[in-house]
Amino acid sequence: MGFRLKKYVIMKKRYLIGGGIILIAVVYLLYLSFGSSVSYYVTVSEFFSRSEELSETNVRVAGKVVDTSIEWDADDLELAFIITEGGRDMRIVYHGAQPSGFRGGTSILVEGKYNNEGVFRASQLILKCPSKYESIDIE
Amino acid sequence: MIETGRIALIIALPVAVFSVLASVIGARAASGRLYQNARYGILTVFGLYTLALALILYVFFTRDFSVRIVAEHASRDLPDLYILSALYADKAGSMFLWGWLISLFSVLLVFPARGNRQSIISYAIAILAVIEAFYIALVTFGVNIFAQHSSPPADGFGLNPLLQNLGMLIHPPLLYIGFAGLAVVFALVVAALISRDSGTLGNGLVRRWALFAWCTLGIGNLVGMWWSYNELGWGGYWAWDPVENAGLMPWLLGTAFLHSMAVRGRRNYLQVWSFCLIVFTFVFTLVSPFITHGGIESPLHGFYGSPFPPFILTVMIVVVIGSMVLLYVRRRDLKSEAKPAPFVSREGAFLITNIALVVLVSVIFIGTVLPRIVEVLGGAKIALDRSFFDKTCGPIMLLLVLLMGVCPLLGWGKMIWKSAGRNLIFFFLAVIVIAAAILISGIGNWYIAAVVLCGLPLFVIFREWWRGSVARHRNQGINYVGAFFSLINSNRARYGGFLAHVGIVIIALGVIVSSFYNIERTVTLDIGESMRAGKYELYYDELIFKQDNVKVSAVADILVSEHDKSVGIMRPSYAYWFSYGDFFAEVAVRTTAAEDLFVSLVWTDFDPEDRSATFRVLVNPLIVWIWTGGVFFLIGGAVAIASPDKPSSGDKG
């Protein structure tokens, strides 16, 4: 009995050490990289209610592309448009080509920084279509 | 008529339950007759399920738009080839196919006469029948896949053009085959524990199913990357999207399971660990539908309005708790008999590999679910960008590459280095010193060091092959090529493992180099203008408009020259699809062993007068290495599966 108990304790210790290594490694890696990779994710109206705190920091803002607002300057590769949500509008400027599927009415996530001139400079546009690969219900 | 399919599945449900009861009671009472009944039950479920599948395919082929799934995903102009894609583009359709595969695999499991393995097979098919019943319930009561459309349209909505691609035709089924195969492995391992037949855990059946499922899943993920690269037009293949992570995590856990099994087959320990790994591997196969059906938001792919996530989550929780209870009840059967091996031994290296893989999966999992958890807990909505994954996963993956180099040099259970390895230790140290020197001196960045590290396992493995072949050539008098194949044949598990490792390292090289040395340019050109990207000159020669009944497209002729020598024409296009009311780009890729030239037409006004167009041009080095590595991986897996069952089959390098 005593022998078995001892063996059990050794087993347990082994699992504790193994588990400990895994836990420490995970926590350390998270600690190393978390701060720089995390950004807030807000809607347009949420952004403006916290604009002082969020200006000049990297954020993701969700909204709908306003149909008539899209201006595309092909020569300078500059895409300007307005996104709207909760009754608030935000002007977006993005340098680069339009992502496919980009058009008025699309739900979009823009990642970038809002500057003092009232323009959001986007570094990335992410189209947010839950129905992208599945048609919307026609019923 | 389609109602017949639903009736078939509803009949299949009690038959599945009957099979569960018959096999469990049969196993407890050691009744051969009940076992036979359970077998026929499993076969009947498969027959009914197949009938339902045939009916679904039939309504797709006849474009019967009175059926919801057909109206929503197919159209008259959809090529018949993509009928299958249309089936799994649907939320119910994808689960339907997955369930059918599990049903098929259960039949493959029970059909061969197994003699003395009856007890373990009984419990395994009971578990699989429960899983089948779950899938059947989802597609009949959750979302009725056979539902009629309230007002049948004249033509269907059609299939998203991005899905009309060969890669997307085979990517989802490969994942489902992998997932369903892992369910079989899970069922076998749990059954072994229930029936107190723990010796079976390492037997050929579990190993072959595990290798088959794992290999298919790995290839499925690669095909998904290939599709993303060739079809989505962004020029990359991996974005750490939740959907992608959901396919990767069970594969990584399966990798850990296979390696822990190799140790287990050799020394009777790591039993509890192996058991937990396969439980979590199976649970993680369910993360994928949980995410795609809306449990976690993914910009890349999602089924709209699916009711499945709560059910899937419930099953995941029940499986984990149930397995842990079973583990506790049967803890005495899993006592390790052998003493743990010393740290510097092949077992030790396998153990570190296992720990590294589990850490890797934990980090990916946290990165995938954390934003959602923070949100549910009422905190702010946050997002993690891909740099999080690059920074956390990169170092662990490099460690794994390093371990692939170290492992073959170590002996089983021995503290000493194998004689073959002893002199190589200096080589190792040299490589590490060179890598460190590159880093510290600032000549290059860490990815140069990473490339150097990748050379290590390749060198070690090729050296093993070389030495083995030479020895065979000398002893048996066969020529070198013949000797090489006879070497592989002599221990298929070990050398198949080596081949798979070579594949993984080639993939790693492709990933590292293409991530850090690509050139990217976006330019708007008028006809007759040209641009430069690296050593390539691209001349925009012509834009041709074409129209058929599904789309109107603009096809650009780009004359490509390399160092002022013409190398060919590339034709990227940009099309407006009428049924979708949207634009889609079709990229053109010119592949060489060293690099890909990737041209995407991202915008044009379709104006016959002003035919200016915007192009996105990328020069991506070593992309083809990723796909080539996949071929090695596949061959390696196949060789290992073909390995006969003998004790040495655990000897995977």
Domain count, chain A: 2
Tell me the per-residue pLDDT of B221-247, one tens digit each, with 9 for 90 and over.
999 999 999 988 888 899 898 999 999
The verdict on A56 and A115 lying in the same domain is yes
Cα–Cα distance measured from residue B556 to residue B517, given in angstroms and rounded to the nearest whole number: 27
Q: Span B162-172, mean pLDDT?
A: 92
Whether B361 maps to a domain, the answer reads: yes
> Is residue B134 a contact partner of residue B315, using CB atoms and an 8 Å limit?
yes
Rounded to 5 degrees, what angle do the CA atoms B389, B313, B16 make?
A: 130
Q: Span B246-260, mean pLDDT?
A: 96
Chain B contacts of A38, Cβ < 8 Å? Answer: 382-384, 388
Whether A114 maps to a domain, the answer reads: yes
pLDDT on residue A130: 40
The verdict on A113 and A49 lying in the same domain is yes
Closest chain B C-alpha to A108 CA, distance in angstroms: 10
The verdict on A59 and A122 lying in the same domain is yes
pLDDT on residue B49: 97
pLDDT on residue B648: 39
The verdict on A63 and A20 lying in the same domain is no
pLDDT on residue B652: 38
The verdict on A121 and A94 lying in the same domain is yes
Whether B102 maps to a domain, the answer reads: yes
Cα–Cα distance measured from residue B573 to residue B585, given in angstroms and rounded to the nearest whole number: 6
pLDDT of B23 > 50? The answer is: yes
Whether B525 maps to a domain, the answer reads: yes
pLDDT on residue B52: 97
Say which residue, B47 or A101, is predicted with more confidence.
B47
Kindly report the three-state secondary structure assignment for every residue of B50-68.
HHHHHHHHHHHHCCCCCEH
pTM of the model: 0.91
Check CB contact under 8 Å for B299 and A34. no
Nearest CA in chain B to A15: B273
- Number of Cβ pairs closer than 8 Å across A and B? 142
Domain count, chain B: 2
Whether A105 maps to a domain, the answer reads: yes
Phi and psi for B507 in degrees, rounded to 5? -60, -45
- Which of B376, B397, B416 is the endpoint of a domain? B376
pLDDT of B106 > 90? The answer is: yes
Tell me the per-residue pLDDT of B564-581, one tens digit each, with 9 for 90 and over.
899 999 999 999 988 778
- Which of B358, B376, B394 is the endpoint of a domain? B376
Whether A138 maps to a domain, the answer reads: no
Cα–Cα distance measured from residue B500 to residue B506, given in angstroms and rounded to the nearest whole number: 10
Cα–Cα distance measured from residue B518 to residue B510, given in angstroms and rounded to the nearest whole number: 11
Whether A76 maps to a domain, the answer reads: yes
* Rounded average pLDDT per 10-residue block, chain A, 139 residues: 53 74 82 76 89 85 90 92 92 88 84 89 78 36
Closest chain B C-alpha to A11 CA, distance in angstroms: 9
CA distances from B319 to A4, A136, B130, B187, B255 (A): 30, 33, 12, 11, 20
Check CB contact under 8 Å for A139 and B89. no
Tell me the per-residue pLDDT of B381-432, one tens digit each, with 9 for 90 and over.
888 888 889 888 988 998 899 889 888 877 776 655 555 556 567 767 777 7
Whether B461 maps to a domain, the answer reads: no
Burial of A38 (0-12, 13-18, 19+ CB in 10 A): middle
pLDDT on residue B441: 67
pLDDT on residue B114: 65
- Which of B360, B376, B392 is the endpoint of a domain? B376
pLDDT on residue A51: 83
Whether B473 maps to a domain, the answer reads: no
Cα–Cα distance measured from residue B556 to residue B566, given in angstroms and rounded to the nearest whole number: 17
CA distances from A29 to B187, B335, B404 (A): 34, 33, 22
Whether A132 maps to a domain, the answer reads: no
To the nearest 10 degrees (0 to 180), the angle between helices B386-406 and A2-37 is 130
Say which residue, B198 or A102, is predicted with more confidence.
A102
The verdict on A54 and A120 lying in the same domain is yes
Whether A7 maps to a domain, the answer reads: yes
pLDDT of B621 > 50? The answer is: yes
The verdict on A27 and A76 lying in the same domain is no
The verdict on A92 and A57 lying in the same domain is yes
The verdict on A55 and A72 lying in the same domain is yes
Facing B392 at nearest CB: one of A11, A29, A127: A29
pLDDT on residue B266: 63
Tell me the per-residue pLDDT of B553-565, one tens digit each, with 9 for 90 and over.
999 999 999 988 9
pLDDT on residue A132: 42
pLDDT of B377 > 90? The answer is: no
Tell me the per-residue pLDDT of B639-653, one tens digit each, with 9 for 90 and over.
999 887 654 333 333
Cα–Cα distance measured from residue A21 to residue A80, given in angstroms and rounded to the nearest whole number: 50
Kindly report the three-state secondary structure assignment for every residue of B515-580.
HHCCEEEEEEECCCCEEEECCEEEEEEEEEEEECCCEEEEEEEEEEEECCEEEEEECCEEEEECCC
Whether A135 maps to a domain, the answer reads: no
Cα–Cα distance measured from residue B546 to residue B524, given in angstroms and rounded to the nearest whole number: 21
Residue A23's domain comprises 1-38
Residue B341: name the closest of B268, B409, B275, B282 by CA. B268
> Is residue B186 a contact partner of residue B282, using CB atoms and an 8 Å limit?
yes
Q: Mean pLDDT score of chain B, rounded to an integer?
A: 88
pLDDT on residue A13: 72
The verdict on A118 and A51 lying in the same domain is yes
pLDDT on residue A84: 93
Whether B535 maps to a domain, the answer reads: yes
Check CB contact under 8 Å for B371 and A29. no
The verdict on A46 and A107 lying in the same domain is yes
The verdict on A83 and A94 lying in the same domain is yes
Residue B617's domain comprises 519-625
pLDDT on residue B414: 61
Whether A136 maps to a domain, the answer reads: no
